[in-house]
Amino acid sequence: MKIHKQCLVVCLLACTGAAQADATYIDVELAARRDNNLARAELAHDIFSDKLLNMGVTATRSMLLTPNSGIRFRGGLHLSEYAKYTNLNLASANLGISYRIQPVSGYTAPWIELGALLEWQSFNNSAIRNGKLLAVEAIAGQRFTDRIGARISIGHEQRRADNTNIFEWQHRRMYVMADYKIGLNSTLYTSLSRDFGDQVFTTTPDLELREYSKAVAKDLVFGTRYAYRVEAIANTLELGVSKPLNSSNTLDIGLRRFHADAVAGHRYDDTELHASWLYRFR
């Protein structure tokens, strides 16, 4: 799951209890992004940037099980359209479920959530990227005051490709997020995640990198370059601000920085700027 989407939803919901009353709602999201290293390459001549537009709709059904616990089901459809690298245009569908409990009632009492998400991904003209993604996580969160909140999580992400094994991976993830309300509306947030496991990088043919790779395949999206799946530790830092316009509309602007240290001393960086608008039909 993209971190900025999680942040946007967290800021909108404000997560003040174990579970909200039984409810059904639909979220429509429109987001503009700029990614300065699509292939997460290491060398300057392998780095390509692009602008893209994300569109999505998510339906959610939440139900109280007890006064202190609840379950939530959701399903969504999403499209990503690139300005230049249209082979990467993406259509995806997902289904998710989560269970939340707050052992002790109270605005500042901690809560625990267990969740799972299954996503199907189909790219416009890059068959090696088509596949399915399964993510599970355990989260603990708390509001310390009416302005300050935080959450931590551990999770596992596994992807299976439809055609080749290059875009298959497993990640173990540690994640922490904090938010601070400015005045009555706007919320500043920051998050940091660390992934342990496989990462895929595209570069010009590299015999040394091939030696350390778990899988290699030609990546036609970027010409004669090859994609390499290698073991790495990746950190993602995000900073942003979320501003509800009213009870249904929320704007979110953020900056995400990705850095990975891979085998054999290879290093990879990526920066992404996004602006999102979310509308909730209740």
Count of Cβ atoms closer than 10 Å to residue 282 Cβ: 8
- Has residue 135 got a pLDDT over 50? yes
Q: Which residue has the tokens 């998400």?
A: 117
Cβ distance 60 to 73 under 8 Å? yes
Tokens for 84? Answer: 């230049």
d(CA 197, CA 2): 17
d(CA 269, CA 260): 7
- Has residue 180 got a pLDDT over 60? yes
Q: In sequence order, what DSSP letters do the residues of 11-61 get, joined into one string? A: HHH---SS-PSSEEEEEEEEEEEEES-TT--SSGGG---EEEEEEEEEEEE
Among candidates 244, 239, 214, which has minimal Cα distance to 229?
A: 214
d(CA 256, CA 3): 9
Residue 106: domain span: 3-281
Q: What is the mean pLDDT of residues 22-37?
A: 96
Strand-strand pairing, 267-281 and 249-262: antiparallel
Domain CATH for 123: 2.40.160.40
d(CA 32, CA 122): 20
Cβ distance 273 to 34 under 8 Å? yes
d(CA 162, CA 159): 10
Q: How does pLDDT run across 148-173, given as a tens digit for each residue?
A: 999 999 999 999 999 889 999 999 99
Give the pLDDT band of residue 10 (cuts 50, 70, 90).
very low
Q: What is the mean pLDDT of residues 137-143?
A: 97
The pLDDT assigned to 21 comes to 67
Number of domains forming the structure of the chain:
1
What ranges in 139-270 are assigned the alpha helix state H? 207-212
Q: How does pLDDT run across 210-268, given as a tens digit for each residue?
A: 999 999 999 999 999 999 999 999 999 999 999 999 989 999 999 999 999 998 888 99
Beta strands in the chain (DSSP E): 23-35, 50-66, 69-82, 90-101, 111-123, 131-143, 148-161, 169-181, 187-203, 215-218, 226-244, 249-262, 267-281
Side chain identity, residue 265: G
